[in-house]
Chain A
Amino acid sequence: MTGGGAAAWRVLRWLLLLVFGAFFAIPLLALLNFSTKNPATKERTGAAWQALTEDPTMTDAITTSLLLAALTVVGMIVLLVPTMIWVRLRVPGATRLVEFLCLLPLTIPALVIVVGLKNVYAWVNYLVGDSALTLAFVYVVLVLPYAYRAIDSSLSSLDATTLAEAARSLGASWFTVITRVILPNLWSGVLGAAFIAVALVLGEYTISSLTHYNTLPVVIVQIGKVNAPESMAAALASLLFAAILLMALSLLDRRRHLSHGGR
Protein backbone atom coordinates (compact mmCIF):
# COMPACT_ATOMS: atom_id res chain seq x y z
CA MET A 1 0.00 0.00 0.00
CA THR A 2 1.31 3.52 -0.81
CA GLY A 3 2.04 6.07 1.91
CA GLY A 4 -0.90 8.18 0.81
CA GLY A 5 -3.25 5.22 0.82
CA ALA A 6 -2.15 4.22 4.32
CA ALA A 7 -2.72 7.75 5.60
CA ALA A 8 -6.19 7.83 4.05
CA TRP A 9 -7.01 4.53 5.76
CA ARG A 10 -5.80 5.94 9.09
CA VAL A 11 -7.97 9.00 8.70
CA LEU A 12 -10.95 6.86 7.74
CA ARG A 13 -10.40 4.64 10.77
CA TRP A 14 -10.32 7.62 13.13
CA LEU A 15 -13.35 9.10 11.43
CA LEU A 16 -15.34 5.91 11.88
CA LEU A 17 -14.18 5.69 15.48
CA LEU A 18 -15.35 9.25 16.10
CA VAL A 19 -18.73 8.68 14.44
CA PHE A 20 -19.40 5.48 16.37
CA GLY A 21 -18.03 6.99 19.57
CA ALA A 22 -20.41 9.93 19.19
CA PHE A 23 -23.29 7.58 18.39
CA PHE A 24 -22.79 5.83 21.73
CA ALA A 25 -21.56 8.72 23.84
CA ILE A 26 -24.15 11.40 22.98
CA PRO A 27 -27.17 9.52 24.45
CA LEU A 28 -25.10 8.66 27.54
CA LEU A 29 -24.03 12.29 27.98
CA ALA A 30 -27.65 13.35 27.53
CA LEU A 31 -28.64 10.91 30.27
CA LEU A 32 -25.90 12.27 32.52
CA ASN A 33 -26.93 15.83 31.78
CA PHE A 34 -30.60 15.15 32.45
CA SER A 35 -29.98 13.11 35.61
CA THR A 36 -27.80 15.84 37.14
CA LYS A 37 -30.19 18.71 36.51
CA ASN A 38 -33.11 19.88 38.57
CA PRO A 39 -36.04 19.91 36.07
CA ALA A 40 -37.65 22.90 37.78
CA THR A 41 -34.69 25.17 38.50
CA LYS A 42 -32.33 23.83 35.78
CA GLU A 43 -29.55 23.84 38.36
CA ARG A 44 -26.96 21.06 38.72
CA THR A 45 -27.77 18.61 41.49
CA GLY A 46 -26.70 15.13 42.59
CA ALA A 47 -30.08 14.38 44.18
CA ALA A 48 -31.13 11.85 41.55
CA TRP A 49 -27.88 9.90 41.95
CA GLN A 50 -28.11 10.14 45.73
CA ALA A 51 -31.62 8.68 45.56
CA LEU A 52 -30.22 5.58 43.88
CA THR A 53 -28.63 4.60 47.16
CA GLU A 54 -31.33 6.00 49.44
CA ASP A 55 -34.64 5.19 47.72
CA PRO A 56 -35.54 1.72 49.10
CA THR A 57 -37.55 0.81 45.98
CA MET A 58 -34.53 1.54 43.83
CA THR A 59 -31.96 -0.15 46.09
CA ASP A 60 -34.17 -3.25 46.36
CA ALA A 61 -34.53 -3.35 42.59
CA ILE A 62 -30.77 -2.97 42.07
CA THR A 63 -30.07 -5.75 44.56
CA THR A 64 -32.68 -8.00 42.94
CA SER A 65 -31.34 -7.42 39.45
CA LEU A 66 -27.72 -8.00 40.49
CA LEU A 67 -28.68 -11.21 42.30
CA LEU A 68 -30.72 -12.27 39.28
CA ALA A 69 -27.72 -11.61 37.03
CA ALA A 70 -25.46 -13.67 39.28
CA LEU A 71 -27.96 -16.55 39.52
CA THR A 72 -28.51 -16.50 35.77
CA VAL A 73 -24.79 -16.63 35.07
CA VAL A 74 -24.29 -19.52 37.49
CA GLY A 75 -27.35 -21.37 36.14
CA MET A 76 -26.26 -20.84 32.55
CA ILE A 77 -22.71 -22.07 33.22
CA VAL A 78 -23.85 -25.10 35.21
CA LEU A 79 -26.44 -26.06 32.60
CA LEU A 80 -24.79 -25.18 29.34
CA VAL A 81 -21.02 -25.64 29.68
CA PRO A 82 -20.94 -29.32 30.76
CA THR A 83 -23.74 -30.13 28.31
CA MET A 84 -21.91 -28.58 25.37
CA ILE A 85 -18.60 -30.21 26.26
CA TRP A 86 -20.29 -33.58 26.76
CA VAL A 87 -22.14 -33.35 23.46
CA ARG A 88 -18.94 -32.33 21.65
CA LEU A 89 -16.96 -35.21 23.12
CA ARG A 90 -19.42 -38.03 23.50
CA VAL A 91 -22.55 -37.48 21.41
CA PRO A 92 -21.54 -35.23 18.49
CA GLY A 93 -24.63 -36.45 16.65
CA ALA A 94 -26.76 -34.46 19.11
CA THR A 95 -25.00 -31.15 18.33
CA ARG A 96 -27.71 -29.94 15.95
CA LEU A 97 -30.48 -30.83 18.40
CA VAL A 98 -28.80 -28.98 21.28
CA GLU A 99 -28.14 -25.98 19.03
CA PHE A 100 -31.79 -25.97 17.94
CA LEU A 101 -33.03 -26.16 21.54
CA CYS A 102 -30.67 -23.38 22.62
CA LEU A 103 -31.72 -21.10 19.76
CA LEU A 104 -35.42 -21.75 20.30
CA PRO A 105 -35.95 -18.91 22.85
CA LEU A 106 -34.98 -16.42 20.13
CA THR A 107 -37.97 -17.44 18.06
CA ILE A 108 -40.58 -17.21 20.81
CA PRO A 109 -41.88 -13.73 21.70
CA ALA A 110 -41.53 -12.75 25.36
CA LEU A 111 -45.31 -12.40 25.68
CA VAL A 112 -45.82 -15.98 24.56
CA ILE A 113 -43.15 -17.13 27.01
CA VAL A 114 -44.96 -15.35 29.86
CA VAL A 115 -48.27 -16.95 28.96
CA GLY A 116 -46.64 -20.34 28.67
CA LEU A 117 -44.77 -19.92 31.93
CA LYS A 118 -47.85 -19.09 33.97
CA ASN A 119 -48.66 -22.71 34.74
CA VAL A 120 -45.03 -23.60 35.34
CA TYR A 121 -44.61 -20.66 37.69
CA ALA A 122 -47.62 -21.72 39.74
CA TRP A 123 -45.49 -24.73 40.66
CA VAL A 124 -42.25 -22.77 40.94
CA ASN A 125 -43.89 -20.33 43.37
CA TYR A 126 -45.44 -23.19 45.29
CA LEU A 127 -42.09 -25.01 45.59
CA VAL A 128 -39.52 -22.23 46.04
CA GLY A 129 -41.65 -19.22 47.05
CA ASP A 130 -42.84 -16.10 45.29
CA SER A 131 -39.50 -14.29 44.98
CA ALA A 132 -38.36 -12.14 42.07
CA LEU A 133 -35.25 -14.31 42.05
CA THR A 134 -37.31 -17.16 40.57
CA LEU A 135 -37.07 -15.17 37.33
CA ALA A 136 -33.56 -16.63 37.08
CA PHE A 137 -35.12 -19.85 35.73
CA VAL A 138 -36.61 -17.94 32.78
CA TYR A 139 -33.53 -15.83 32.29
CA VAL A 140 -31.31 -18.91 32.03
CA VAL A 141 -33.53 -20.02 29.13
CA LEU A 142 -33.50 -16.53 27.58
CA VAL A 143 -29.69 -16.27 27.56
CA LEU A 144 -29.19 -19.72 26.03
CA PRO A 145 -29.06 -18.57 22.37
CA TYR A 146 -26.38 -15.95 23.04
CA ALA A 147 -24.40 -18.01 25.53
CA TYR A 148 -24.48 -21.01 23.18
CA ARG A 149 -22.89 -18.99 20.38
CA ALA A 150 -20.15 -17.58 22.61
CA ILE A 151 -19.20 -20.95 24.10
CA ASP A 152 -19.55 -22.80 20.81
CA SER A 153 -17.05 -20.53 19.05
CA SER A 154 -14.58 -21.08 21.89
CA LEU A 155 -15.12 -24.83 21.79
CA SER A 156 -14.71 -24.92 18.01
CA SER A 157 -11.28 -23.30 18.25
CA LEU A 158 -10.11 -26.24 20.35
CA ASP A 159 -9.43 -29.85 19.30
CA ALA A 160 -11.46 -30.96 22.30
CA THR A 161 -11.65 -34.60 21.21
CA THR A 162 -7.88 -35.07 20.97
CA LEU A 163 -7.26 -33.18 24.23
CA ALA A 164 -9.86 -35.33 25.97
CA GLU A 165 -8.37 -38.54 24.57
CA ALA A 166 -4.88 -37.45 25.61
CA ALA A 167 -6.11 -36.74 29.12
CA ARG A 168 -8.02 -40.04 29.26
CA SER A 169 -4.93 -41.97 28.23
CA LEU A 170 -3.03 -40.26 31.05
CA GLY A 171 -5.59 -41.52 33.54
CA ALA A 172 -8.14 -38.68 33.76
CA SER A 173 -11.78 -39.42 34.56
CA TRP A 174 -14.43 -37.67 32.46
CA PHE A 175 -14.99 -35.19 35.31
CA THR A 176 -11.28 -34.34 35.31
CA VAL A 177 -11.26 -34.05 31.52
CA ILE A 178 -14.07 -31.48 31.63
CA THR A 179 -12.95 -29.46 34.64
CA ARG A 180 -9.18 -29.52 34.25
CA VAL A 181 -8.56 -29.89 30.53
CA ILE A 182 -11.43 -28.51 28.47
CA LEU A 183 -12.96 -25.86 30.75
CA PRO A 184 -9.71 -23.94 31.41
CA ASN A 185 -9.39 -23.50 27.65
CA LEU A 186 -12.93 -22.21 27.27
CA TRP A 187 -12.73 -19.29 29.67
CA SER A 188 -12.92 -16.59 27.02
CA GLY A 189 -16.14 -18.09 25.67
CA VAL A 190 -17.61 -18.63 29.13
CA LEU A 191 -16.71 -15.06 30.15
CA GLY A 192 -18.34 -13.73 26.99
CA ALA A 193 -21.45 -15.77 27.69
CA ALA A 194 -21.49 -14.53 31.29
CA PHE A 195 -21.28 -10.91 30.18
CA ILE A 196 -24.10 -11.33 27.70
CA ALA A 197 -26.18 -12.94 30.45
CA VAL A 198 -25.55 -9.99 32.82
CA ALA A 199 -26.37 -7.46 30.10
CA LEU A 200 -29.56 -9.29 29.20
CA VAL A 201 -30.75 -9.59 32.79
CA LEU A 202 -30.05 -5.91 33.55
CA GLY A 203 -32.07 -4.89 30.49
CA GLU A 204 -34.93 -7.39 30.53
CA TYR A 205 -38.25 -5.59 31.05
CA THR A 206 -41.12 -7.45 29.37
CA ILE A 207 -41.16 -10.68 31.36
CA SER A 208 -40.42 -9.17 34.77
CA SER A 209 -43.04 -6.47 34.20
CA LEU A 210 -45.72 -8.91 33.06
CA THR A 211 -44.99 -11.23 35.96
CA HIS A 212 -45.15 -8.24 38.37
CA TYR A 213 -41.65 -8.51 39.76
CA ASN A 214 -39.78 -5.32 40.61
CA THR A 215 -36.49 -5.67 38.81
CA LEU A 216 -34.30 -2.69 37.95
CA PRO A 217 -35.76 -2.01 34.46
CA VAL A 218 -39.32 -2.24 35.85
CA VAL A 219 -38.53 0.20 38.67
CA ILE A 220 -36.74 2.56 36.27
CA VAL A 221 -39.93 2.79 34.21
CA GLN A 222 -42.12 3.19 37.33
CA ILE A 223 -39.95 5.92 38.85
CA GLY A 224 -39.57 7.57 35.47
CA LYS A 225 -43.26 8.48 35.67
CA VAL A 226 -42.81 10.45 38.91
CA ASN A 227 -39.09 11.27 39.06
CA ALA A 228 -37.53 11.27 35.62
CA PRO A 229 -33.97 12.32 36.69
CA GLU A 230 -33.72 9.43 39.16
CA SER A 231 -34.87 6.90 36.54
CA MET A 232 -32.34 8.35 34.07
CA ALA A 233 -29.60 8.08 36.71
CA ALA A 234 -30.53 4.44 37.30
CA ALA A 235 -30.55 3.73 33.55
CA LEU A 236 -27.14 5.33 33.13
CA ALA A 237 -25.78 3.51 36.18
CA SER A 238 -26.89 0.13 34.83
CA LEU A 239 -25.42 0.92 31.39
CA LEU A 240 -22.12 1.99 32.97
CA PHE A 241 -22.12 -1.10 35.16
CA ALA A 242 -22.54 -3.32 32.08
CA ALA A 243 -19.82 -1.40 30.22
CA ILE A 244 -17.37 -1.61 33.11
CA LEU A 245 -18.11 -5.32 33.44
CA LEU A 246 -17.40 -5.80 29.73
CA MET A 247 -14.11 -3.95 29.96
CA ALA A 248 -13.09 -5.86 33.08
CA LEU A 249 -13.87 -9.17 31.40
CA SER A 250 -11.98 -8.31 28.24
CA LEU A 251 -9.00 -7.07 30.28
CA LEU A 252 -9.04 -10.31 32.24
CA ASP A 253 -9.17 -12.27 29.01
CA ARG A 254 -6.31 -10.27 27.53
CA ARG A 255 -4.17 -10.87 30.62
CA ARG A 256 -4.87 -14.61 30.34
CA HIS A 257 -3.83 -14.52 26.70
CA LEU A 258 -0.64 -12.62 27.52
CA SER A 259 0.25 -15.04 30.27
CA HIS A 260 -0.16 -17.86 27.71
CA GLY A 261 2.42 -16.37 25.44
CA GLY A 262 0.28 -14.07 23.38
CA ARG A 263 -2.02 -16.80 22.17
Chain B
Amino acid sequence: MSTAPEASGGTGVAVQMTGLRRSYGDVHALDGLDLHIEPGEMVVLLGPSGCGKTTALRILAGLERQDAGTISVGGKDLTRVPANKRDMGMVFQAYSLFPHLTVLDNVAFGLKLRGRSRAERRQRAGDMLDMVGLGQHHDRYANQLSGGQQQRVALARALAIEPAVLLLDEPLSALDAKVRVQLRDEIRRVQLDVGTTTLFVTHDQEEALAVADRVGVMHAGRLDQLAPPAELYAAPATPFVGSFVGLSNRVPATVTDGRADVLGTAVPVLAGSAAGSGVALVRPESVRVVPDAGGAATVAAVAFLGPVSRATVTLADGTLVIAQLASSEAAALHVGQRVALSVEPVPVLVVAD
Protein backbone atom coordinates (compact mmCIF):
# COMPACT_ATOMS: atom_id res chain seq x y z
CA MET B 1 0.00 0.00 0.00
CA SER B 2 1.44 3.34 -0.87
CA THR B 3 1.65 6.22 1.51
CA ALA B 4 0.30 9.10 -0.49
CA PRO B 5 1.07 12.66 0.55
CA GLU B 6 -1.43 14.64 2.58
CA ALA B 7 -3.61 16.99 0.58
CA SER B 8 -2.84 20.67 0.74
CA GLY B 9 -6.51 21.52 1.02
CA GLY B 10 -6.83 22.94 -2.46
CA THR B 11 -5.46 26.37 -1.54
CA GLY B 12 -2.82 27.77 -3.83
CA VAL B 13 0.84 27.54 -2.99
CA ALA B 14 3.83 29.16 -4.67
CA VAL B 15 5.99 27.14 -7.04
CA GLN B 16 9.63 27.96 -7.63
CA MET B 17 11.77 26.27 -10.28
CA THR B 18 15.36 27.46 -10.30
CA GLY B 19 18.15 26.80 -12.77
CA LEU B 20 16.57 23.65 -14.22
CA ARG B 21 18.72 21.85 -16.74
CA ARG B 22 17.98 18.67 -18.63
CA SER B 23 19.81 17.20 -21.59
CA TYR B 24 19.12 14.18 -23.77
CA GLY B 25 22.49 13.43 -25.29
CA ASP B 26 23.54 16.58 -27.11
CA VAL B 27 20.07 18.11 -26.99
CA HIS B 28 19.48 20.62 -24.18
CA ALA B 29 15.77 20.31 -23.45
CA LEU B 30 16.08 22.73 -20.53
CA ASP B 31 18.91 25.20 -20.37
CA GLY B 32 18.69 26.90 -16.99
CA LEU B 33 14.93 27.45 -16.63
CA ASP B 34 13.80 29.78 -13.85
CA LEU B 35 10.06 30.02 -13.20
CA HIS B 36 8.08 31.35 -10.28
CA ILE B 37 4.33 30.74 -10.03
CA GLU B 38 2.30 32.72 -7.53
CA PRO B 39 -0.18 30.94 -5.23
CA GLY B 40 -3.42 30.21 -7.08
CA GLU B 41 -2.04 31.46 -10.37
CA MET B 42 -2.41 29.71 -13.72
CA VAL B 43 0.78 29.92 -15.75
CA VAL B 44 0.76 28.55 -19.27
CA LEU B 45 4.03 27.45 -20.84
CA LEU B 46 3.79 28.04 -24.57
CA GLY B 47 6.26 27.13 -27.23
CA PRO B 48 6.94 25.06 -30.32
CA SER B 49 7.67 21.33 -30.20
CA GLY B 50 10.99 20.57 -28.55
CA CYS B 51 11.24 23.87 -26.68
CA GLY B 52 11.32 22.07 -23.30
CA LYS B 53 7.89 23.00 -21.96
CA THR B 54 6.72 19.42 -21.37
CA THR B 55 10.09 18.49 -19.89
CA ALA B 56 9.70 21.35 -17.40
CA LEU B 57 6.24 20.14 -16.41
CA ARG B 58 7.34 16.51 -16.08
CA ILE B 59 10.27 17.51 -13.92
CA LEU B 60 7.92 19.49 -11.69
CA ALA B 61 5.66 16.40 -11.50
CA GLY B 62 8.64 14.23 -10.56
CA LEU B 63 8.18 12.04 -13.63
CA GLU B 64 11.61 13.03 -14.91
CA ARG B 65 14.82 13.87 -13.15
CA GLN B 66 16.61 17.15 -13.85
CA ASP B 67 20.38 17.25 -14.40
CA ALA B 68 20.64 20.41 -12.28
CA GLY B 69 18.40 22.91 -10.54
CA THR B 70 15.92 22.94 -7.70
CA ILE B 71 12.15 22.81 -7.24
CA SER B 72 10.23 24.08 -4.27
CA VAL B 73 6.47 24.06 -3.73
CA GLY B 74 4.91 25.99 -0.88
CA GLY B 75 8.40 26.59 0.49
CA LYS B 76 9.21 22.86 0.64
CA ASP B 77 12.15 21.56 -1.37
CA LEU B 78 10.81 18.81 -3.67
CA THR B 79 13.93 18.42 -5.79
CA ARG B 80 14.51 14.81 -4.74
CA VAL B 81 10.97 13.85 -3.73
CA PRO B 82 9.46 11.01 -5.85
CA ALA B 83 6.40 11.70 -8.00
CA ASN B 84 3.96 9.87 -5.71
CA LYS B 85 4.88 12.06 -2.73
CA ARG B 86 4.68 15.42 -4.50
CA ASP B 87 0.95 16.02 -4.07
CA MET B 88 0.33 17.10 -7.65
CA GLY B 89 -2.70 16.36 -9.78
CA MET B 90 -1.95 15.84 -13.43
CA VAL B 91 -3.96 15.65 -16.64
CA PHE B 92 -2.13 14.10 -19.57
CA GLN B 93 -2.27 14.64 -23.30
CA ALA B 94 -3.05 10.93 -23.83
CA TYR B 95 -6.23 9.55 -22.31
CA SER B 96 -5.16 8.19 -18.96
CA LEU B 97 -8.28 6.87 -17.24
CA PHE B 98 -7.80 3.41 -15.74
CA PRO B 99 -9.78 1.17 -18.12
CA HIS B 100 -10.77 -1.40 -15.47
CA LEU B 101 -12.37 1.16 -13.17
CA THR B 102 -15.63 3.07 -13.47
CA VAL B 103 -15.60 6.83 -13.79
CA LEU B 104 -16.42 7.18 -10.08
CA ASP B 105 -13.68 4.75 -9.05
CA ASN B 106 -11.19 6.54 -11.28
CA VAL B 107 -11.91 9.82 -9.54
CA ALA B 108 -11.82 8.15 -6.12
CA PHE B 109 -8.54 6.33 -6.83
CA GLY B 110 -6.24 8.95 -5.29
CA LEU B 111 -8.55 9.29 -2.26
CA LYS B 112 -8.43 5.54 -1.69
CA LEU B 113 -4.64 5.70 -1.64
CA ARG B 114 -4.97 8.38 1.02
CA GLY B 115 -7.03 6.07 3.19
CA ARG B 116 -10.32 8.00 2.96
CA SER B 117 -13.45 6.06 3.91
CA ARG B 118 -15.64 4.63 1.16
CA ALA B 119 -18.46 7.07 1.93
CA GLU B 120 -16.09 10.03 1.89
CA ARG B 121 -14.53 8.86 -1.37
CA ARG B 122 -17.86 8.47 -3.10
CA GLN B 123 -19.07 11.83 -1.85
CA ARG B 124 -15.95 13.70 -2.94
CA ALA B 125 -15.68 11.90 -6.30
CA GLY B 126 -19.37 12.58 -6.95
CA ASP B 127 -18.89 16.28 -6.16
CA MET B 128 -15.91 16.46 -8.50
CA LEU B 129 -17.86 14.80 -11.30
CA ASP B 130 -20.73 17.23 -10.76
CA MET B 131 -18.23 20.08 -11.00
CA VAL B 132 -17.04 18.94 -14.43
CA GLY B 133 -20.60 18.24 -15.58
CA LEU B 134 -20.45 14.44 -15.55
CA GLY B 135 -22.65 13.75 -12.56
CA GLN B 136 -24.72 11.26 -14.60
CA HIS B 137 -21.79 9.10 -15.71
CA HIS B 138 -20.58 7.53 -12.44
CA ASP B 139 -20.85 3.93 -13.56
CA ARG B 140 -19.46 4.23 -17.05
CA TYR B 141 -16.08 2.99 -18.16
CA ALA B 142 -13.49 5.04 -20.05
CA ASN B 143 -14.29 3.36 -23.37
CA GLN B 144 -17.90 4.50 -23.05
CA LEU B 145 -16.94 8.18 -22.92
CA SER B 146 -15.96 10.67 -25.61
CA GLY B 147 -12.47 12.16 -25.61
CA GLY B 148 -13.71 15.40 -24.05
CA GLN B 149 -15.57 13.50 -21.32
CA GLN B 150 -12.49 11.42 -20.57
CA GLN B 151 -10.39 14.53 -20.12
CA ARG B 152 -13.09 16.02 -17.86
CA VAL B 153 -12.95 12.90 -15.69
CA ALA B 154 -9.16 13.11 -15.68
CA LEU B 155 -9.45 16.72 -14.48
CA ALA B 156 -11.90 15.68 -11.74
CA ARG B 157 -9.56 12.85 -10.73
CA ALA B 158 -6.58 15.20 -10.55
CA LEU B 159 -8.50 17.74 -8.44
CA ALA B 160 -10.20 15.18 -6.18
CA ILE B 161 -7.02 14.75 -4.14
CA GLU B 162 -6.90 18.53 -3.52
CA PRO B 163 -3.40 18.76 -4.94
CA ALA B 164 -0.93 21.51 -4.10
CA VAL B 165 -0.36 22.04 -7.82
CA LEU B 166 -2.41 21.10 -10.88
CA LEU B 167 -0.38 20.11 -13.94
CA LEU B 168 -1.98 20.07 -17.38
CA ASP B 169 0.14 18.54 -20.12
CA GLU B 170 -1.53 19.55 -23.40
CA PRO B 171 -4.84 18.08 -22.17
CA LEU B 172 -6.83 19.42 -25.11
CA SER B 173 -4.62 18.58 -28.06
CA ALA B 174 -6.34 15.27 -28.83
CA LEU B 175 -9.80 16.87 -28.97
CA ASP B 176 -11.65 18.46 -31.86
CA ALA B 177 -11.73 22.25 -32.12
CA LYS B 178 -15.20 22.88 -30.67
CA VAL B 179 -14.74 20.60 -27.66
CA ARG B 180 -11.29 22.08 -27.12
CA VAL B 181 -12.69 25.60 -26.72
CA GLN B 182 -15.49 24.40 -24.39
CA LEU B 183 -13.16 22.38 -22.20
CA ARG B 184 -10.51 25.09 -22.14
CA ASP B 185 -13.05 27.54 -20.69
CA GLU B 186 -14.25 24.90 -18.27
CA ILE B 187 -10.72 24.18 -17.05
CA ARG B 188 -10.25 27.89 -16.36
CA ARG B 189 -13.59 28.12 -14.54
CA VAL B 190 -12.79 25.11 -12.37
CA GLN B 191 -9.28 26.36 -11.67
CA LEU B 192 -10.61 29.72 -10.54
CA ASP B 193 -13.23 27.93 -8.40
CA VAL B 194 -10.76 25.74 -6.54
CA GLY B 195 -7.87 28.21 -6.57
CA THR B 196 -5.20 25.59 -7.18
CA THR B 197 -1.86 26.80 -8.49
CA THR B 198 -1.71 25.49 -12.06
CA LEU B 199 0.93 24.93 -14.69
CA PHE B 200 -0.55 24.34 -18.14
CA VAL B 201 1.57 23.33 -21.11
CA THR B 202 0.40 23.88 -24.67
CA HIS B 203 1.63 24.70 -28.14
CA ASP B 204 -1.65 26.43 -29.00
CA GLN B 205 -1.23 30.17 -28.49
CA GLU B 206 -4.95 30.93 -28.57
CA GLU B 207 -5.47 28.42 -25.77
CA ALA B 208 -2.61 29.95 -23.79
CA LEU B 209 -3.79 33.53 -24.19
CA ALA B 210 -7.39 32.59 -23.34
CA VAL B 211 -6.84 30.87 -19.99
CA ALA B 212 -3.59 32.10 -18.48
CA ASP B 213 -2.91 34.60 -15.73
CA ARG B 214 0.57 34.72 -17.21
CA VAL B 215 2.02 33.05 -20.29
CA GLY B 216 5.61 31.89 -20.41
CA VAL B 217 6.98 31.60 -23.93
CA MET B 218 9.71 28.99 -24.10
CA HIS B 219 12.39 28.84 -26.72
CA ALA B 220 15.36 26.44 -26.84
CA GLY B 221 15.02 25.33 -23.22
CA ARG B 222 14.67 28.83 -21.79
CA LEU B 223 11.87 31.18 -20.85
CA ASP B 224 11.97 34.06 -23.35
CA GLN B 225 9.20 36.02 -21.65
CA LEU B 226 6.74 35.52 -18.80
CA ALA B 227 3.93 38.05 -18.82
CA PRO B 228 0.15 38.47 -18.75
CA PRO B 229 -1.39 37.61 -22.15
CA ALA B 230 -2.16 41.21 -23.14
CA GLU B 231 1.35 42.38 -22.29
CA LEU B 232 2.89 39.43 -24.09
CA TYR B 233 0.92 40.27 -27.19
CA ALA B 234 1.39 44.03 -27.08
CA ALA B 235 5.00 44.13 -25.95
CA PRO B 236 6.95 41.03 -26.96
CA ALA B 237 10.36 41.00 -25.31
CA THR B 238 12.20 39.11 -28.04
CA PRO B 239 11.86 38.64 -31.79
CA PHE B 240 10.92 35.01 -31.15
CA VAL B 241 8.01 35.98 -28.88
CA GLY B 242 6.90 38.61 -31.37
CA SER B 243 6.78 36.15 -34.21
CA PHE B 244 5.49 33.12 -32.25
CA VAL B 245 2.62 34.83 -30.43
CA GLY B 246 0.09 36.19 -32.88
CA LEU B 247 0.77 37.36 -36.39
CA SER B 248 3.46 39.97 -36.99
CA ASN B 249 4.41 41.85 -40.12
CA ARG B 250 8.11 42.46 -40.64
CA VAL B 251 8.20 46.02 -41.92
CA PRO B 252 11.43 47.96 -42.64
CA ALA B 253 11.97 50.71 -40.03
CA THR B 254 14.56 53.21 -38.89
CA VAL B 255 14.98 53.98 -35.18
CA THR B 256 15.96 57.50 -34.17
CA ASP B 257 15.76 58.95 -30.63
CA GLY B 258 13.57 56.16 -29.29
CA ARG B 259 11.06 56.33 -32.13
CA ALA B 260 10.80 54.25 -35.23
CA ASP B 261 9.73 55.42 -38.65
CA VAL B 262 7.36 52.67 -39.82
CA LEU B 263 5.47 53.18 -43.09
CA GLY B 264 5.86 56.92 -42.64
CA THR B 265 4.48 56.95 -39.06
CA ALA B 266 6.69 57.68 -36.06
CA VAL B 267 5.93 55.08 -33.37
CA PRO B 268 7.52 54.48 -29.95
CA VAL B 269 9.82 51.44 -29.71
CA LEU B 270 9.79 48.75 -27.02
CA ALA B 271 12.72 48.09 -24.70
CA GLY B 272 15.25 45.76 -26.29
CA SER B 273 14.75 47.18 -29.77
CA ALA B 274 17.70 47.48 -32.11
CA ALA B 275 19.03 50.94 -32.98
CA GLY B 276 19.33 52.30 -36.53
CA SER B 277 17.85 50.45 -39.46
CA GLY B 278 15.99 47.26 -38.79
CA VAL B 279 12.67 45.50 -39.07
CA ALA B 280 9.64 46.48 -36.99
CA LEU B 281 7.26 43.71 -35.86
CA VAL B 282 3.82 45.18 -36.52
CA ARG B 283 0.54 43.46 -35.66
CA PRO B 284 -1.98 43.19 -38.54
CA GLU B 285 -4.60 45.10 -36.52
CA SER B 286 -2.17 48.04 -36.22
CA VAL B 287 -1.98 48.46 -39.97
CA ARG B 288 -4.40 50.92 -41.61
CA VAL B 289 -5.33 50.55 -45.26
CA VAL B 290 -6.90 53.43 -47.14
CA PRO B 291 -7.89 53.25 -50.83
CA ASP B 292 -5.68 55.80 -52.63
CA ALA B 293 -5.18 55.88 -56.40
CA GLY B 294 -1.76 57.46 -55.84
CA GLY B 295 -0.76 55.03 -53.08
CA ALA B 296 2.52 53.11 -53.32
CA ALA B 297 1.02 49.77 -52.19
CA THR B 298 -1.21 47.29 -54.00
CA VAL B 299 -3.85 44.93 -52.61
CA ALA B 300 -2.73 41.35 -53.33
CA ALA B 301 -5.56 39.46 -51.60
CA VAL B 302 -8.53 39.95 -49.30
CA ALA B 303 -9.69 37.13 -47.02
CA PHE B 304 -13.11 37.33 -45.34
CA LEU B 305 -13.01 35.91 -41.77
CA GLY B 306 -16.49 36.88 -40.54
CA PRO B 307 -16.55 40.10 -38.51
CA VAL B 308 -13.02 40.93 -39.65
CA SER B 309 -11.11 40.48 -42.88
CA ARG B 310 -7.43 40.24 -43.70
CA ALA B 311 -5.98 42.19 -46.58
CA THR B 312 -2.58 41.24 -47.96
CA VAL B 313 -0.86 44.29 -49.42
CA THR B 314 2.36 44.49 -51.45
CA LEU B 315 4.67 47.45 -50.77
CA ALA B 316 6.69 49.11 -53.53
CA ASP B 317 9.81 47.13 -52.50
CA GLY B 318 7.92 43.84 -52.69
CA THR B 319 7.40 43.42 -48.91
CA LEU B 320 4.08 41.75 -48.07
CA VAL B 321 2.07 43.34 -45.25
CA ILE B 322 -1.06 41.83 -43.73
CA ALA B 323 -3.69 44.19 -42.38
CA GLN B 324 -6.68 43.17 -40.26
CA LEU B 325 -9.68 45.41 -40.63
CA ALA B 326 -13.43 45.37 -40.14
CA SER B 327 -15.14 43.43 -42.89
CA SER B 328 -17.25 46.51 -43.68
CA GLU B 329 -14.03 48.44 -44.48
CA ALA B 330 -12.54 45.50 -46.35
CA ALA B 331 -15.59 45.45 -48.63
CA ALA B 332 -14.22 48.58 -50.30
CA LEU B 333 -10.97 46.81 -51.26
CA HIS B 334 -10.30 44.62 -54.26
CA VAL B 335 -7.27 42.84 -55.64
CA GLY B 336 -4.98 45.11 -57.67
CA GLN B 337 -6.31 48.28 -56.05
CA ARG B 338 -3.77 50.98 -55.13
CA VAL B 339 -3.83 51.82 -51.40
CA ALA B 340 -1.94 53.88 -48.85
CA LEU B 341 -0.66 52.18 -45.68
CA SER B 342 0.03 53.61 -42.24
CA VAL B 343 0.33 52.14 -38.74
CA GLU B 344 -1.25 52.92 -35.37
CA PRO B 345 1.15 54.77 -33.08
CA VAL B 346 1.49 51.83 -30.66
CA PRO B 347 4.93 50.70 -29.42
CA VAL B 348 6.66 48.15 -31.64
CA LEU B 349 9.69 45.93 -31.28
CA VAL B 350 12.38 46.67 -33.84
CA VAL B 351 14.90 43.93 -34.52
CA ALA B 352 18.05 43.90 -36.61
CA ASP B 353 17.36 42.89 -40.19
Q: Which residues of A contact B (CB under 8 A)?
A: 158-159, 162-163, 165-173, 175-176, 181, 184-185, 260-263
Contact = CB atoms under 8 A, between A and B. Distances in A.
Given A165-B96, A166-B154, A170-B4, 7 more contacts: A159-B94, A163-B96, A165-B63, A171-B4, A171-B84, A171-B113, A261-B140
A260 B89 contact: no
Contacts of B88: 169
Interface residues of B, number: 37
A173 B90 CA distance: 16
B83 A168 contact: yes
Nearest to B4: A171
Contact of A168 (B1, B63, B114, B144): B63
Interface of B: 1-5, 61-63, 82-90, 92, 94-96, 98-100, 109-110, 113-114, 140-141, 143-144, 154, 157-158, 161, 167
- Chain A to chain B: the 10 pairs with minimum beta-carbon distance, closest first: A171-B4, A173-B2, A170-B110, A166-B96, A169-B90, A184-B100, A168-B83, A171-B113, A261-B141, A176-B2
Classify the interface of chain A: helix, strand, loop or mixed: helix
A184 to B, nearest CB: 4
A173 B84 contact: yes
Q: Which of B5, B83, B143, B158 has the most CB of A within 10 A?
A: B83
A165 B144 contact: no
A167 B154 CA distance: 11
Given A171-B4, A171-B113, A165 B143 contact: no
A169 B61 contact: yes
Contacts of A184: 98, 100
Contacts of B140: 261
A162 B141 contact: no
A170 B2 CA distance: 10
B115 to A, nearest CB: 10
B90 A172 contact: no
Contacts of B95: 159, 162
A165 B113 contact: no
B89 A172 contact: no
Contact of B2 (A165, A171, A263): A171
A162 B96 contact: yes
Given A170-B109, A170-B110, A165 B161 contact: no
